[in-house]
Structure 1
Amino acid sequence: MIFDEFSIKTLIRPVADFPKPGVIFRDITPLFQSPRALRMVADSFIQRYVEGEFSHIAAMDARGFLIGSIIAYELNKPLILFRKHGKLPGELLREAYKTEYGESFLEVQADSLCEGDSVLIFDDLIATGGTLLAAAQLVRRMGAKIHEAAAIIDLPELGGSQKLQDMGIPTFTLTAFALNER
């Protein structure tokens, strides 16, 4: 890793009671406002995956797009976009998922992957794992496999990373926060 977990944590802003009372939202905006921090985060992922045995990178709507697109560019891999309902044209595959705030649908273009492809999936944060689990189901429905699920932040108390691992999906994050950690 290019820089330590403490450095990352100092650049992630806790926002109390957003989007609902009792939730501490982990705002990654300061990471992207600092060119040095963004480079260090991207370089940490690039260093981990530069020799990875996968064919595609998938990114989750919307904050996962930020880091996923950088990594796809740097590793010269095709980027697959997983979007919220109603945002993609063409023939789509859809998967329902639950979040800590409600229920939604994740969609991907049906011709994005082929049987035998291997995918590294990115999001900004692993909370309940709903979005990444839905993406994993869609990847598998297209006949591809998951190389790993990666994110900047893990909230292990919400159980998402454990659910992914229970599904046989390795996970990697740069840092983790306890739910009430400031």
Structure 2
Amino acid sequence: MTSTKDIDLKGLVRTIPDYPKPGIMFRDITTLLGHASGFKACVEELVKPFHDQRVESVAGIEARGFILGGAAADRLHCGFVPIRKKGKLPAKAIGQDYELEYGVDVIEVHEDALSIGEPVLLVDDLIATGGTAVAAVKLLRQLKAEVIGAAFVIDLPDLGGRARLAELGVECHTLISFEGD
């Protein structure tokens, strides 16, 4: 059996050139998720810095953040809170706008998803420009939750998302970095 420490997570990420448009190098984690030992190692490394912290909920951003966030919540023995695109949650929700390359979109969370002061960890697959992650932090703070950190499998450091979270006082933990994207 392979030790999870011997897994090359970066090697399990598939790169798809020119998707969803020319010039983009899409980092596809479905190949990592489909590799049992790789997925296990990924989740273990994602939550490692937070084992000694009080985490009562993990908030995952739709859609790959649901997969990773659910697994992270299981490992941290806490609840999971979905952050979804506008109109997808069944109960009363609050929303936060964020900028896209050509326009604005909205993410939402149920207004009763977290308690005041509840320590929550934000999880998603990738941090690029940080627009969605920043919006998610703002949403969680609207609920008066304490965002103790953010964890991502992939960082695209040249796009500055990690720095945007740092400006909000949110420590960012990432596993893999792809420079120049």
**TM-score bracket for the superposition, by shorter chain length:** over 0.9
Percent of counterpart pairs with the same letter?
38
Cα distance in structure 2, aligned partners of 1:175 and 1:74:
20
After superposition, residues 14-33 of structure 1 pair within 5 angstroms as 14-33=15-34
Q: How does 1:1-182 map to 2 (within 5 A)?
A: 3=5, 7-100=8-101, 102-180=103-181
Q: Deviation string for 1:51-77 (max 9, x for gaps)?
A: 222221100000011111011112211
Q: Kindly report structure 1 stretches of 4+ aligned residues shifted beyond 4 Å.
A: none
Q: Tell me, in whole angstroms, the C-alpha distance in 2 between the residues paired with 1:72 and 1:101.
A: 33
Q: Structure 1 residues 101, 65: CA separation in 2 closer, same or farther (over 3 Å shift)? A: farther
| Aligned-residue offset at 1:98 | 1.8
Partners of 1:95 and 1:137 within 8 A in 2: yes
- The 8 Å contact of residues 148 and 172 in structure 1, kept in 2 or not, is answered as yes
Structure 1 gaps, min length 5: none
Cα offset, 1:102, TM superposition: 4.7
AA in 1 matched with 2:172: T
When residues 177 and 101 of structure 1 are mapped into structure 2, their CA distance, relative to the original with a 3 A threshold, is farther
Shift of residue 105, structure 1, vs aligned partner: 0.6
Shift, 1:20, TM fit = 1.1
Q: Secondary structure at the match of 2:15?
A: strand
How far apart, in 2, do the equivalents of 1:132 and 1:141 lie?
Answer: 14
**Secondary structure of the residue that 1:131 maps to in structure 2?**
helix
Number of residue pairs aligned between Structure 1 and Structure 2: 178
Structure 2, unaligned stretches of length 5 or more?
none
Q: 1:7 to 1:156 in 2, by over 3 A?
A: same
- Asked if structure 1 preserves the Cα contact closer than 8 Å seen for 2:57 and 2:78, the reply is yes
> Residue 101 and residue 76 in structure 1: after superposition, are their counterparts in 2 closer, same or farther (change >3 A)?
farther
Alpha-carbon distance in structure 2 between the residues aligned to 1:108 and 1:28? 24
TM-score normalised to structure 1 length: 0.92
* RMSD, aligned CA: 1.6
SS at the partner of 1:83? strand
Q: SS of the counterpart of 1:3?
A: helix
Q: TM-score, normalised by structure 2?
A: 0.92
Which AA in structure 2 matches 1:13?
R
